[in-house]
Amino acid sequence: MLKQYEQTLFKLITSGQGTYGVSIYHFETEEAFTYQADEEFYSASIIKIPIMAAVFAHAAERKCSLSETIRIREEDIVPGDGILKNLASRMEWTVYDLIVLMIIESDNTATNLLIDLVGKENIGVHMKSWGFHISRLHHKLQISPDRKHDESNVITPREINKFLIDMAFGRIVSINACRQMIDIMKQQKMNDLLPRLLPDTEGPIGRISNWELAHKTGYVSGIEHNVGLLYLPGNTFSVTVLSKNVPTREEPKEIIGKLGKWLYEKTLNEFTI
């Protein structure tokens, strides 16, 4: 299905001034579309997805419990995305609550607390076992803005998308852990990229929506990412779009939003099997 539209997708992805990397997989036909899929991109907040999985793995190994609490100290607070920086220090949050805040609010303080809980080296070991050979976690968030490239958190479209596919098949940690992680990602609060042009999901209580998206966004200056699992009637796509050197935030929002809309409309009109 995707193969016959490669030129259309290529034209859309290359319509801006920025550099984009894309990996899309259609579960039902097992077809894929890729563009610069092995290019390295600064991870921004996308790195929070494998961090989340590493915390679930840590719990599965009985090295922590998702219900145990962590007290936030004043020195733990970092700037950027999230709400913990606006709340009183010394509050206690469960590990599970911190995971939710890290994903749906992209909370940087919660992220750093979870990195400390599992350990950077342990997260790296898990990432390698899950097929991350280029992508890597080097540093906590909002700590040192003047780091060198080889000290940065980087990802590739192919590796992140493969990870999402494995998550959808229940291959990361356990089926139950994958179900929980996907449910958390479906609660994402930042929805101005892939779902930007999709129809409103609100309506009468109990109405079944035409689409769901379990996803994560990432942003720093010049960079805008969105990765996730897009669920449509009878079809599922794993979608990764990474960018760099974008001139404005509007450009990737338009391109990624149009991609989400294209997948939605093609599914309803042609992909239903």
Judged by average pLDDT, the poorest of 46-50, 61-65, 208-212 is 208-212
pLDDT in tens, 171-209: 999 999 999 999 999 999 999 999 999 998 777 877 778
Residue 81 near residue 45 (C-beta atoms within 8 A): yes
pLDDT in tens, 112-123: 999 999 999 999
pLDDT at 273: 40
pLDDT in tens, 117-167: 999 999 999 999 999 999 999 999 977 655 555 689 999 999 999 999 999
> Which pTM was predicted?
0.94
b/e burial code for range 223-255 (CB count within 10 A of at least 16 → b): bbbbbbbbbbeebbbbbbbbbbebeeeebbbbb
Alpha-carbon distance 39 to 241, whole Å? Answer: 12
Closest CA relative to residue 40, chosen from 164, 212, 156: 156
Partnered with residue 219 across adjacent β-strands are: 224
Q: And the tokens for 138?
A: 């080097």
Give percent above pLDDT 70 in the chain.
96
Q: What is the mean pLDDT of residues 217-232?
A: 97
- The size of the chain, in residues, is 273
Q: Cα 211–213–217 angle (5° rounding)?
A: 145
pLDDT in tens, 65-104: 999 999 999 999 997 888 898 886 778 999 999 999 999 9
pLDDT in tens, 38-47: 999 999 999 9
Residue 102 near residue 84 (C-beta atoms within 8 A): no
- Beta carbons within 8 Å of 142's beta carbon, 6+ residues apart: 78, 79, 80, 108, 112
Partnered with residue 33 across adjacent β-strands are: 24
Residue 160 backbone phi and psi in degrees, to 5:
-65, -40
pLDDT at 146: 54
pLDDT at 149: 55
Partnered with residue 42 across adjacent β-strands are: 154
pLDDT at 123: 98
Residue 220 backbone phi and psi in degrees, to 5:
-140, 175
Q: And the tokens for 213?
A: 């998206």
Structural domains of the chain sorted by starting position, each given as residue range(s) with its CATH number in brackets: 1-39+156-273 (3.40.710.10), 45-151 (3.40.710.10)
